[in-house]
Structure 1
Amino acid sequence: MPTITLCMIVKDEEEFLERCLNSIKEIIDEIIIVDTGSKDRTVEIARKFTDKIFFKDFNDDFSELRNFSINKATKEWILVLDADEMISKNDLIKIKQLIQNNENLGYAFIQRTYFNKPLTKQWNYSKDDDYEESKSYLGWIYRGITRLFQNNKGIKFIYPIHETIIESIKHINGKILNSKIPIHHYGLLRDKDSIIKKNELYKKILINKIGKYKKLSFETELKIQEEIEKETLR
């Protein structure tokens, strides 16, 4: 059976980390945690699950951290999650089935970001959803995100924010299949101060990098961040 390394970047995630790791641990063969300066119980919690914990400063570039983490992986496949995310137990068997197919270098997921106020045109209500993970929240916004991929030296993350491996997979003529599996994301359910701090960091990085990458999506993302912050503060 093919093996999986879980790679994570964390900082002050004691509220979410244990739930995330418990949700996925039964199909994971190795856990790599990169901590960027936690001052709470994050590292203590991580040590319950792995001894492969590394420490690295954050230099306003999430790709740098992601690449540092995946370079530590020793298993055949890599799964990337954030501490405020989880995968339903019902979907774990699907992931094990996916990695038995070596023809695809990567698999895309649907990241559902839950919130209790409607946001943007991509809003979906939880009322009739089958997943228990959504039942406590009004609904979610979604985006496609590639988080499961083969441990291949040619695959790396690019862009300092909303980092992606898609371009590197395409560069080596690899295929990405849509798994249609949701990643349940609870980042907008944090306290307001944490959300404001995170949004300010994202906006700062976006503003500094728009000129460098010349991607319209960065400008669009900045507008979305501003909308989310406005709704959060209502």
Structure 2
Amino acid sequence: MIVRDEAENLPSCLNSVKAAVDEMVVLDTGSTDETVAIAQSFGAQVHHFDWCDDFSAARNAALQHVTGDWVLVLDADERLETGIVPQLKQVMQLNTCLVVNLVRQEIGATQSPYSLVSRLFRRHPKIQFLRPYHAMVDDSVAAILQREPQWQVVELPDVAILHEGYQAGAIASRDKLQKARMTMERFLVKHPGDPYVCSKLGALYVQIDKVSYGIELLERGLKSAQVDPPIGYELHYHLGIAYSRLQHLDQAGMYYQLAIQQPILPRLKLGAYNNLGNLRKATGDLTGAKAVYEQALRVDPSFTMGHYNLGMTLKAMGQLGEAIAQYQQAIQLNPNYAEAYQNLGVTLLKLGKVAESLAAFERAIALHQQHDPTEAQRLRQGLQEMGFQV
């Protein structure tokens, strides 16, 4: 681990791994809180590193202190899913396994709740972290595989890491986005056709409304001779988002479909499924939207936003009973889903179930009040105009 001022997150992280690992190596990059003392209280070796705006340099410095045969890399806002440990131990027994790619669940991310990360690997002398911002071992692993083809990279389909970084209040600030942008732009100058940095920086440009710059970079990434399927998915997916922003819906739909066609774990494609469904719904193709949402839910029945969007589509198709069932499923998965309560209230009211409807609206208003008081007031006022007091 590399850490800095992570006293709040560190206990749950280290607690999740303490029974599964033989040593804990924590590299501190300048904490001013209780981070170091907490790490030491868990029995971790703590080493110190002067931060130099290069995540790879810090990761590699931490790696120098590792003595075990295998390395698991976590951030402080992540936890190991303890149920995965027997699978990890089993795959680590494979003599030809060099890296185990792990599924990380992004807690609080409604759109793309899963990602694949190369966080468990054999302590091979040639494995090192590269890239100053998105530090990862993938580039060094690719070089090893070319020289030593007996090795293999294994993917485990079950969730192994829980990541809290998408919770409310934890999303990157504007300042962090600017630092990320500057670091990636410097890297791009030396590696102008690198598909990974084209994907990440292109997506960031789209996020900050520099859409034309984003499209140019994303399309440049696709022209690279070596585009691995996970990066290919990201490039196509973010091109879909970019062209949706420009209201070029046919192109957006094409890119979402190309993203879905990439040979990666199906649950990693939920964002593309969801966006394609939204696009079809927006253009009036309700049957097509319904089919896409249902496909997403076959991939992951716990995809909360998929249930909500399927409910919205069914409501638009006049299938109110089925819509209610989907809203209720979304609420069961996320009891704080204000929009699901709100649309449940609308649908129940259409069916004449006034008492149940008002109860759903009341819950929606209470939830909106916490995060969006303007919406809470708008909903309350709309109900009052209809003669209801909530």
TM-score by length of 1: 0.78
CA-to-aligned-CA distance 1:103-138 (integer Å, 9 cap, x gap) = 11110012222235x44xxx2xxxxxxxxxxxxxxx
Q: 2: CA distance between counterparts of 1:47 and 1:190?
A: 29
Task: Report which of the two has the higher share of strand.
Answer: 1
CA contact (8 A) 1:196 1:229 kept: no
Aligned to 2:125: 153
CA-to-aligned-CA distance 1:33-77 (integer Å, 9 cap, x gap) = 001111112111111123511111222211111111111110111
CA contact (8 A) 2:165 2:171 kept: no
Q: 2: CA distance between counterparts of 1:189 and 1:17?
A: 16
2:136 to 164, 175, 188: 164
Q: 2: CA distance between counterparts of 1:216 and 1:100?
A: 33
Are residues 208 and 170 of structure 1, via their aligned partners in 2, closer, same or farther at CA, if it must alter by over 3 Å?
Answer: closer
Q: Does 1:12 align with 2:5?
A: yes
1:105 to 98, 110, 134: 98
Residue 189 of structure 1 aligns with an amino acid whose one-letter code is: Q
Aligned to 1:76: 69
CA contact (8 A) 2:23 2:44 kept: no
SS in 1 for 2:97: coil
1:218 to 191, 197, 201: 197
Q: 1: CA distance between counterparts of 2:70 and 2:99?
A: 9
Name structure 2 gaps, 5 residues minimum: 146-150, 210-371, 373-390
Q: Does 1:40 align with 2:45?
A: no
Are residues 184 and 227 of structure 1, via their aligned partners in 2, closer, same or farther at CA, if it must alter by over 3 Å?
Answer: farther
CA contact (8 A) 2:13 2:78 kept: yes
Residue 199 of structure 1 aligns with an amino acid whose one-letter code is: L
Aligned to 2:23: 30
CA contact (8 A) 2:132 2:183 kept: yes
Pairwise CA distance, 1:170: 2.6
TM-score by length of 2: 0.48
SS in 2 for 1:23: helix
Q: 2: CA distance between counterparts of 1:75 and 1:164?
A: 19
Pairwise CA distance, 1:20: 0.7
Residue 137 of structure 2 aligns with an amino acid whose one-letter code is: I
Of the two, which has the highest radius of gyration?
Answer: 2
Q: Does 1:204 align with 2:198?
A: no
Pairwise CA distance, 1:13: 0.9
CA contact (8 A) 1:104 1:177 kept: yes
Pairwise CA distance, 1:102: 2.1
SS in 2 for 1:105: strand
Q: Does 1:175 align with 2:175?
A: no
Name structure 1 gaps, 5 residues minimum: 1-7, 124-139
Q: 2: CA distance between counterparts of 1:193 and 1:154?
A: 34
Q: 2: CA distance between counterparts of 1:170 and 1:216?
A: 14
Q: How does 1:47-126 map to 2 (within 5 A)?
A: 47-115=40-108, 118-119=110-111, 123=112
Q: Compare 194-203 and 23-32 and name the one that shifted more.
A: 194-203
Q: 2: CA distance between counterparts of 1:147 and 1:13?
A: 20
Q: 2: CA distance between counterparts of 1:33 and 1:221?
A: 27
SS in 1 for 2:190: helix
Residue 159 of structure 1 aligns with an amino acid whose one-letter code is: R
Q: 2: CA distance between counterparts of 1:45 and 1:195?
A: 26
SS in 1 for 2:41: coil
CA contact (8 A) 1:206 1:219 kept: no
